[in-house]
Amino acid sequence: MPKAFVLINTEIGSETEVVKELRKIEGVEEAYPVYGVYDIVAKVSADTMDKLKEIVTWRIRRLDKVRSTLTMIIIEEQTK
């Protein structure tokens, strides 16, 4: 199952609103506002790489007030 962390920049002051919208998107497992270069970190998973690409490209990046994203695909999930 492909997973990725998506780092998101938003318009100033809209972080909380964007996090609420992210959490409504199927495939977004977690979303948090953060301090630093990016405003939000989201963890996304999907059944296929194409579905993951679709979520990021057509759902997350198209949200109102999202300025830019950086997607980091997880290459190997650690087990306990």
> Please, what are the domains in the chain?
3-73 (3.30.70.920)
Burial class (CB in 10 A: 0-12, 13-18, 19+), 27: buried
d(CA 32, CA 20): 9
Would you state the pLDDT for residue 76?
77
Sequential pLDDT tens for the chain (80 residues): 999 999 999 999 999 999 999 999 999 999 999 999 999 999 999 999 999 999 999 999 999 999 999 999 999 767 76
53: its two tokens: 């690409």
